[in-house]
Amino acid sequence: MSLVVKYVDPTLDAQWDQTVASFPDANIFHTSSWARTLKVSYRYQPFYAVWEKDGRPVCMVPLMEINSMITGKRGVSLPFTDWCPIVTDGSLARGEVIQDLVVKGSSRKWKTLELRESEGPVADDQGTSAYLVHELDLSPGEEDLFRQFRDSTRRNIRKAAKLGVTIVEDNSLSGLKEFCRLNVITRRDHGLPPQPPVFFENLYRNIIDPGSGKILLARYEERTVAASIYLSFNGRALYKYGASDRSQQHLRANNLLMWEAIKRYSEAGASSLHFGKTDSNQSGLLQFKRGWGAEERELQYQKFKLPEGDLAPFSSLTFGVHNRIFSRMPLTALEMIGRLLYRHMG
């Protein structure tokens, strides 16, 4: 059998999502809609690698080329993406995949190749992992799922409901506006600039409005106090973005939001809900995600120096002295920084 590797732009292939769906491990980040969102928002060039045997796809790796005067020219699988596993039928060794990608990157003059795809069981020494991910099996059903939550999680859900917090699904531009309002505040609380508005506009146009995403809002006394965006594909759901009013944390609205999402996706027949990546030093967020009884796995990002193909140290830009500076900035200034920087940082 002949094996060939091709590099394609999935936004130009009407059959792409159908092909991707044939791989059980594919998620929303492998789709043409996510590719289009990144391409249009940040002007990245897609180079999605597809290996075929006798015309049949057997392996696929999404790649975007970032060409930045600040961070250089590099290949990333994928920018602003929690995790993006190599999807394969098992007939191609991982070493062969990496070698082909290194050759492609070298021909494109990339400085580095970054992969965000290596998941595995949590090691005894959790300090060695930069990120953790959590995925909840939704098959047990609503009652059994609720019983497996941590006691404090169940209490927080009941508390939010008792205090009068309500959850509404608003997949309109109005709902997106409410999320973005809270997101700007939340990002400043974390010492980070918010994503540019054009990104969420494209996310809405390409994924949420066509029906592959949900915007859930937590309301209290006619005000939105928390909001979340969920994405889904191939029977798997993902908690992608969350934002809330920190002054209203006592309402425990985020717990009720997540519970409502779990119920809705479970009732719709989704197989799992992925909670996205978490930096291992985000103790508060880790505590929140560990309260749902989800499986915890390690996620390792890898960076290869090109053209050599040697592994290079990977460091996260999320945390540093810049957090203190950003957290003190006016919202308008922080939003401007987000518009200027994000396309360089993917």
| Cis amide prior to 78 (ω within 30 degrees) | yes
- Asked if the model's pLDDT at residue 6 lies above 80, the reply is yes
pLDDT score at 122: 53
- Asked if the model's pLDDT at residue 196 lies above 50, the reply is yes
The secondary structure element, H or E, covering residue 336 is: helix 331-345
pLDDT score at 333: 86
pLDDT score at 281: 82
- What gap in Å lies between CA 238 and CA 207, rounded to an integer? 13
- What gap in Å lies between CA 272 and CA 140, rounded to an integer? 10
Residue type, 181: R
Tokens standing for 168? 């509404």
Phi, psi (degrees; rounded to nearest 5) at 166: -125, 155
Nearest Cα residue to 150 out of 130, 162, 136:
136
pLDDT score at 111: 96
| Contact between residue 224 and residue 218 where contact means Cβ atoms under 8 Å apart | yes
pLDDT score at 319: 64
Please, where in the chain does CATH 3.40.630.30 lie? 3-118+301-345, 128-298
Q: Could you give the dihedral angle defined by the CA atoms of residues 261, 264, 267 and 268, in that order, rounded to the nearest 10 degrees?
A: -100
**pLDDT tens per residue across span 52-69:** 998 899 999 999 999 998
- Asked if the model's pLDDT at residue 19 lies above 70, the reply is yes
Mean pLDDT computed over every residue of the chain: 92
CATH of 128-298, one of 3.90.920.10, 3.40.190.10, 3.40.630.30, 3.50.50.60: 3.40.630.30
**pLDDT tens per residue across span 67-97:** 998 999 999 999 999 889 999 998 888 899 9
The burial class, CB within 10 Å (0-12 / 13-18 / 19+), for 304 is buried
- Asked if the model's pLDDT at residue 128 lies above 50, the reply is no
- What gap in Å lies between CA 117 and CA 122, rounded to an integer? 15
In the chain, what is the straight-line distance between the N-terminal and C-terminal CA atoms, in Å?
Answer: 37
pLDDT score at 320: 66
Mean pLDDT of 118-141: 71
CATH topology of domain 3-118+301-345: Aminopeptidase (3.40.630)
- What gap in Å lies between CA 82 and CA 239, rounded to an integer? 10
pLDDT score at 50: 96
- 29 vs 326: which has the higher pLDDT: 29
Q: Give the other-Cβ count within 10 Å of 99's Cβ.
A: 12
Mean pLDDT of 37-52: 97
pLDDT score at 202: 98
Residue type, 261: A
Least confident interval from 8-12, 54-58, 99-103, 146-150: 54-58
| Contact between residue 262 and residue 138 where contact means Cβ atoms under 8 Å apart | yes
- 146 vs 337: which has the higher pLDDT: 146
3-state secondary structure 111-170: CEEEEEEEEEECCCCHHHCCEEEEEEECCCCHHHHHHHCCHHHHHHHHHHHHHCCEEEEC
pLDDT score at 119: 60
Mean pLDDT of 226-251: 97
| Contact between residue 334 and residue 187 where contact means Cβ atoms under 8 Å apart | yes
- Asked if the model's pLDDT at residue 270 lies above 80, the reply is yes
**pLDDT tens per residue across span 163-182:** 999 999 999 999 999 999 99
pLDDT score at 126: 39
pTM value is: 0.93
Mean pLDDT of 289-302: 93
pLDDT band at 125 (very low <50, low <70, confident <90, very high): very low
| Biggest distance spanned by C-alpha atoms of the chain | 65
- Asked if the model's pLDDT at residue 10 lies above 70, the reply is yes
The burial class, CB within 10 Å (0-12 / 13-18 / 19+), for 120 is exposed
Mean pLDDT of 183-208: 95
What count of residues does the chain have? 346
**pLDDT tens per residue across span 308-330:** 989 887 666 666 667 888 788 88
pLDDT score at 121: 57
Mean pLDDT of 292-317: 87
Q: How many helices (H) and strands (E) does the chain have?
A: 11, 16
